[in-house]
Amino acid sequence: SAAVQVSSVMRSTNKSQQRGDKYSVLLPTYNERENLPLIIWLLVKYFGDSGYDFEIIVIDDGSPDGTLQVAEQLQKIYGEDRILLRPRAKKLGLGTAYIHGIQHATGNFVIIMDADLSHHPKFIPRFIEKQKEGGYDLVSGTRYRGDGGVYGWDLRRKLISRGANFLTQVLLRPGASDLTGSFRLYKKEVLERLVERCVSKGYVFQMEMIVRARQLGYSVGEVPISFVDRVYGESKLGGNEIVSFVKGLLTLFATT
């Protein structure tokens, strides 16, 4: 019976857990009350099925819709070792939300994704497999390769995204197909080093991260993803963000 016990323990402990790999998922939220229960349920489901160790770090920026109270309820359901709450008092921007979250991550890998269900957790096992396959420093979800795509955006939004990617490709030639997407997996020490060098704070942060990664010679793997526009709530990407993206791009172009 001892032998039976040992073999069943071995079966439930996969290789990644034996190596001690742990994945910290950063979920920045601003007014995501309706989306948070579902995204967390899906994360727990896909991580549970794949057997990888994980934690979810919710970084709420004082959402007026009560997102933090919903997150507290979810923490009671799933446990404090799975759901970590690292809120901030007010809306301080997406870039700094990630930086704040990384400081609390206990995993050796960090996954960054949106909380509004535009990024489906079903892709995460593919990110992890891809990373292991090539030992990549970062794995980037791409909407612009293979069977990746965008669903539900109007023409204006598609043009903004394509335009931002095209301009960046032309000016900086970073050699990755999706520069503005934010669904990515990083080795934690790589992410920390990249963050130290990044000057931008808003949405342009994603682009700067992958450009800097290439400059520093980090290896980048890509996984095609489908990005589905949110059903609940609204995008926080406004005219200001577009202006600051172009400014950030030109700054990078001038300084690198």
Dihedral class, residue 189 (left if φ above 0, else alpha if ψ from -120 to 50, else beta): alpha
Strands 184-187 and 138-142 come out as antiparallel
Q: Interface mask (CB under 5 A) for Mn ion, residues 102-141, using x and -? A: --------------x-x-----------------------
Nearest to 110 by CA among 209, 205, 16, 24: 24
For the CB of residue 166, give the shortest distance to ligand GDD in the complex, in Å.
13
For the CB of residue 10, give the shortest distance to ligand GDD in the complex, in Å.
38
Under the binding rule (CB under 6 A), the answer on residue 47 touching ligand GDD is no
For the CB of residue 53, give the shortest distance to ligand GDD in the complex, in Å.
23
CA 52, CA 35: separation in Å to the nearest integer? 23
Under the binding rule (CB under 6 A), the answer on residue 99 touching ligand GDD is no
Please provide the DSSP assignment of 30-83 as one string.
SS-TTTHHHHHHHHHHHHHHHT-EEEEEEEEB--TT-HHHHHHHHHHHH-TTTE
Q: Interface mask (CB under 5 A) for Mn ion, residues 210-249, using x and -? A: --------------------x-------------------
In the region spanning residues 196 to 255, those forming contacts with ligand GDD, defined by CB under 6 A, are 203, 206, 230, 235-237
CA 233, CA 35: separation in Å to the nearest integer? 8
The gap between the terminal CA atoms of the chain, to the nearest Å, is 64
Stretch that binds ligand GDD, among 2-10, 86-94, 102-110, 192-200 (CB under 6 A): 86-94
Please provide the DSSP assignment of 116-167 as one string.
SSSS-GGGHHHHHHHHHHHT-SEEEEESSSTT-EEES--HHHHHHHHHHHHH
Under the binding rule (CB under 6 A), the answer on residue 116 touching ligand GDD is yes
Q: Which residue is nearest to Mn ion (CB)?
A: 116
Strand locations in 166-244, DSSP E? 184-187, 220-224, 226-228
For the CB of residue 116, give the shortest distance to ligand GDD in the complex, in Å.
5
Under the binding rule (CB under 6 A), the answer on residue 180 touching ligand GDD is yes
Whichever of 55 and 116 has its CB closer to Mn ion, that residue is 116
Whichever of 53 and 227 has its CB closer to ligand GDD, that residue is 227
Query: Contacting ligand GDD (CB under 6 A), which of 32, 55, 137, 208?
Result: 32
- Residue 252, classed as helix, strand or coil, is helix
Instruction: Write out the residues near Mn ion by the rule CB under 5 A.
Output: 116, 118, 230
Which residues form the interface with ligand GDD (CB under 6 A)? 28-30, 32, 59-61, 91, 93-94, 97, 114-116, 118, 161, 180-182, 203, 206, 230, 235-237
